[in-house]
A = this chain, B = another copy of it.
Amino acid sequence: MAMEPHLLRTFVTVARLGSFSAAARELGYTQSAVSQQIAVLEADLGAGLLHRRPVEPTEAGARLLEHAGPLLLRTAAARADIARLAGAPASRLVLAATPLAVTTGLAAALAATRQAHPGLELTVRVLGRPEVPAAVATGEADLGLTDGMAAPSDPLQLPDVGPLTAVAVAEQPVAVALPAGHPLAGRRGLDLADLADARWLDAPGVAVPAERLRAATGVAGFRPATRYPGTDLRGLLVLVAAGHGLAVLPQGVLDGVPGVLGAPVREPRLVHRTELVRGSLPEGPAALLARLLDPERP
């Protein structure tokens, strides 16, 4: 009677669907069972978790929801971690990667892996930044590649879903993407703080989010004129070229893009790094790929 995972699972399902009966259908219970499970959870925690009619979380319920997701994720990660010890198929390789982590270097490493393991069933899943470590932790992916900005010596901050290890596989300088006619275009060595009042595109999926820029420069501003929630880089660059705003991106992706020029950032000192994420002991093709990507391969 203490926060068992299956109770949490039905709770989050009910909260998500806004309905006891729908949750029951999805989970393969009767409506009665779901009602009782929620009642047990509420009795155990001594607080109402859901308003009824309409069904939506109470304050306590909202608080529980914040915990339930990570808790269930980590539970799945634990299970997956142990399952990995038992069976190793070795002919299947799933790689989870953020959009900017898919590079020609990766492609080359994948080619070499495929050559060494003919008949390999290879999957590359492009996911958002938070999903990549989760996929590796739960065993949905054998390896992950994330990217992000950080101070030159600091590691990227991974959400803590379990014992994952990360190693840097590539770094490149960071630049502000500017439309071709912009007065700063071609300038070398910008200080981001000077651009706090410029017009910005906030594209947390691919570029540096505005909030991060504020934190790194210690300056307010960077108010986004346009939000761009997706991960499609090409579309973002079209908007930049059209003058909808600026974005901070790794230098490399700006080369040769029509209508867009990059101005390297000098201050604050940031680099764009892509890191390889692995669960404790990769085997077979995953181990090979990890070694190929690691710049300090032994």
Contact = CB atoms under 8 A, between A and B. Distances in A.
Contact of A60 (B5, B82, B215): B82
B67 A85 contact: no
A67 B162 CA distance: 7
Contacts of A163: 66-67
Give the oligomeric copy count: 2
B215 A155 contact: yes
Nearest to A217: B153
A79 B3 contact: yes
A67 B74 CA distance: 7
Interface in A35-67: 45-47, 59-60, 63-64, 66-67
A4 B74 CA distance: 13
B85 A47 contact: yes
A254 to B, nearest CB: 25
Contact of A2 (B3, B5, B64): B5
A5 B78 CA distance: 13
Interface string A1-28: 0111110000000000000000000000
Contacts of A216: 153
Interface of A: 2-6, 45-47, 59-60, 63-64, 66-68, 70-71, 74-75, 77-79, 81-83, 85-86, 151-155, 157, 159-160, 162-163, 215-218, 268, 280
24 contacts: A2-B75, A3-B78, A4-B5, A45-B83, A46-B83, A59-B85, A60-B82, A60-B85, A60-B86, A63-B78, A63-B280, A64-B78, A64-B82, A66-B162, A67-B74, A67-B81, A68-B78, A70-B160, A71-B74, A151-B151, A151-B154, A153-B217, A155-B215, A159-B160
